[in-house]
Chains A and B, each alone.
Chain A
Amino acid sequence: MNELEQLEQQFSSRIRLSMDQLLPVPDSSRLLDIEQDMNLEKPVNRRWLIWIAVLLGLTGISVAYWYQSQQKVPIQDEIKVITPENTPTRDIPALMHQHLDQQGEPNSPVIYQQEVISDE
């Protein structure tokens, strides 16, 4: 048995008795009050909450896009290409493309019509 063990054997019970005997004892009702005030529900893991929020957000955005695409009613723009009456028919597509290049690409399907101006 080394010195520390001998000293421990000599003093440990005395120290324990002395402290138990002379230190005050807490009021059990006060400790019970503290126990009752404690919220023993474990805190929710915030990392999981963040992931759930991100997933819900992405799902919401996807549903919104899908819903919007279902609601879209194609607008049938009408582009009239006015050509002189004597314009050869084979030139009309080229004129229509030229018109489109000037106006820019429309968002909705476009119906092309040719209106022929009569000289009369």
Chain B
Amino acid sequence: MVQDKLQELIRSYCSDDDAPAFRRFYRHESQRLWRYLVARGATEAQAYDLVSEAFIRFLKTVCKNPIAPSAYLFRIAQNLLIDLQRSGLSREVSIEINELESKQDVGGTFIETRDVFVAINKLTRDEQNIVLLRYWLGMTYKELAEIIGRPEGTLRRQGASALRRLKELLPEYE
């Protein structure tokens, strides 16, 4: 499990001052975090600042309880983004796509990735968040509960609801 390895890196940093372990964690998570922030509405420039600020805060506190470090990092970043969005400096539309049109072969079926992307964009902000964290970044519902601050059961129901909505929006991919 990738998350177990990431947790081990942070434990190693916290217990043995293993700076290279922390750098490995950073290199793995910074790119995912940056893309997640862009998907959640930050501009690219804001996403760099938020990644920097989130990691600074993460460094200061993670060793107090180095369990589920990725979820903790994403929670910090999400709270920073919410503060930014409340200040009105971030765009409200959560996902912007570049002009790339492409098709991918999944199990022998060509699907229009852009259609999926647009369909995700039609979900509510909470649903988008769950879909991105769970199905794009591969986090567990337990980690989602840590990041979003809601019970796991509630998030499971919201996740199922989001997928049902995607199914309605993408009937051709049944």
Partner-B contacts on A (CB < 8 A): 3-4, 7-8, 10-26, 28, 30-31, 34-35, 37-43
Contacts and interface: CB of A to CB of B under 8 A. Distances in A.
Contacts of B163: 4, 7-8, 10-11
B48 A15 contact: no
A24 B117 CA distance: 13
A86 B129 CA distance: 111
Contact of A42 (B56, B63, B104, B116): B63
In the A-B complex, the 7 residue pairs with the closest CB atoms: A7-B163, A18-B116, A18-B113, A26-B34, A15-B135, A40-B19, A19-B136
B6 interface: no
B114 interface: yes
B91 interface: no
B12 interface: no
Given A14-B173, A31-B48, A38-B26, 13 more contacts: A4-B159, A7-B164, A10-B173, A11-B116, A15-B120, A15-B131, A15-B136, A17-B116, A21-B113, A23-B38, A38-B55, A42-B17, A42-B63
Given A13-B106, A15-B116, A40 B59 contact: yes
A25 to B, nearest CB: 7
Contacts of B39: 19, 23
A3 B107 CA distance: 21
Contact of B167 (A7, A37, A39): A7
A31 B30 CA distance: 7
A51 B63 CA distance: 21
A11 B132 CA distance: 12
B65 interface: no
A37 B52 contact: yes
Interface string B137-166: 010000000000000000010011001101
A27 to B, nearest CB: 8
